[in-house]
Amino acid sequence: MNQPHSRRGKNRISDARAAAASLLSPVLNGQGSLATLDQRLSGMAVSERDRGFVKALCFGVCRTFPRLDALANELLRQPFKQRDADVQALLLLGLYQLLYMRVPAHAAVSESAGAAKALGKTWATRVLNGCLRRFQREAATLEAKVDRDEAVAVMHPAWLVEALRTAWPDTWRELCLANNEAGPMTLRVNRRHATREAYLERLAAAGIEAVACTHAEAGVTLATPFDVEQLPGFADGDVSVQDEAAQLSADLLAPALTDASNARVLDACSAPGGKSAHLLERFDIELTAADVDAERLSRVEATLERLGLSAGLEAADASASTDETTAPFDAILLDAPCSGTGVIRRHPDIKLARRESDIVELAALQSRLLDALWQRLAPGGTLLYATCSVLPAENAEQVAAFLERTPDATGDTPTDVEWGVTAGAGRQLLAAQNGHDGFFYARLVKTARTT
């Protein structure tokens, strides 16, 4: 039964758990993601007080989904039909509260089961109540049973566990544990406005605990997440939210840009604009921010406007061939579309949405992007290839294949840095608990023409 809407178009769901189930159901069906959660939640009649709880439920269920789903399968005689994904979501929400939240058990059970009424599915109340009460009685036995499956125990899909084990045999388990924790909130100080030290003093004066990042020169990590709009100087462009690993792109491009005033630079897959902004904050360059999605490109424009920066905007497919008469770029940043396996802790619905077959398709796209953009790079120029993936097929193997087929390309990734590990011709960072996300970089230089 579909939820009724008011004449104003506002969803009438006000119950927090029913709202969370409604938001999760398209994610469970592979027809949505958490990326639009705030927008969809704003269209519901959920109180401001409950919105944080709803978001915590949605992210928590996705983060622990492989284990919750295994437990749900033990509790159900038969799975719910696809049209009842919202009821399935309520069962997962109830289990999540019982296992991972400080919600009184009676409330987790009764409120989750009762939320079925708000979804117009009163019939499900008894089913949910029975399943959750059975879990209360048999929790130890059921948990021990499902945890015999290693993938369930580390709360990752089986194909990804195998891929991580193969790629990182000594650290795959620690990597999974890091993925299961929410990532810290990290900021990038706009050094055109102030030094990092000065901004840390502003945070301290505002009672916000923070420390300087270890590797990113402009990075600051908060002890606990904070409302971005309330950060000192955020509205004035003094600071932006950006993970430490992502901030390293500017360091890697520094040799090509530091002494090259007005160098022509292309950020080929720029949305939402964090790396473009960082480059403009740090270097005096002529930057073009491109993205295949015009709507996403508008986010780049908004980011630059808040920071008082300007760039050319180009809505175009970077993998397509270009007119040979177009002036080449001195440097290109290719933050390529990827599996996102390095940022699962920030986008836990990746555990539900990503499939093993996606990696082959993404690798093919990355290959096309590299080949096309190389043609737009000036001789002697630098291309920085980046992904937020930890899988070799998208990273070290991708770059090795490119170098093999591209005679005028040379790997130039530094090895004397204190972050990451050598990965072929690139450098790989793995997600660290209370630290940076997973990221890969490879700096490639185009042979200069000889006269």
Per-residue pLDDT reduced to its tens digit, 212-250:
999 999 999 999 999 999 999 999 999 999 999 999 999
Name the CATH topology of 16-153: N-utilizing Substance Protein B Homolog; Chain A (1.10.940)
Neighbours of 6 (CB within 10 A): 9
Average pLDDT estimate for 164-188:
97
CA-based nearest residue to 291, from 317, 328, 321: 317
Dist. CA 330–CA 286, nearest whole Å = 10
Q: 186-241: which CATH architecture?
A: 2-Layer Sandwich (3.30)
Confidence check: pLDDT of 77 > 80: yes
pLDDT at position 327, please?
A: 87
Q: Which residues contact 106 (CB under 8 A, 6 or more apart)?
A: none
Whole-structure pTM value: 0.94
Token pair listed for 102: 């400080």
Location of structure tokens 């900021």: 187
Give me the count of residues in the chain.
451
How would residue 11 be classed by pLDDT, with cut points 50, 70 and 90? low
What confidence category does residue 430 fall into, taking pLDDT thresholds of 50, 70 and 90? very high
CB 207 within 8 A of CB 222: no
pLDDT tens per residue, range 346-381: 999 999 999 999 999 999 999 999 999 999 999 999
Ranges for all domains in the chain classified under CATH 3.40.50.150: 244-446
Domain limits, CATH 3.30.70.1170, in the chain: 186-241
**Residue 388 annotated among the catalytic residues of the structure:** yes
- Position 450 scores a pLDDT of 63
Rounded distance between C-alpha atoms, residue 280 and residue 346, angstroms: 26
Beta carbons within 8 Å of 173's beta carbon, 6+ residues apart? 154
Taking all residues of the chain, what is their mean pLDDT, rounded to a whole number?
A: 94
pLDDT at 449: 73
- Among residues 58, 131, 213, 388, the one annotated as catalytic is 388
Q: Just give the CATH number of 244-446.
A: 3.40.50.150
Give the 3-state secondary structure of residue 397. helix
pLDDT of 5 strictly over 60: no
CATH 1.10.940.10-classified regions of the chain: 16-153
Q: What is the largest CA-CA distance in the chain?
A: 81
Q: Can you tell me the mean pLDDT for 128-137? A: 98
Measuring CA to CA, which residue among 278, 199, 212, 192 is closest to residue 242? 278
> Is the pLDDT assigned to residue 393 strictly greater than 50?
yes
Q: How confident is the model at residue 58, as a pLDDT? A: 98
Instruction: Give pLDDT, residue 9.
Output: 40
Inform me whether the pLDDT recorded for 67 exceeds 50: yes
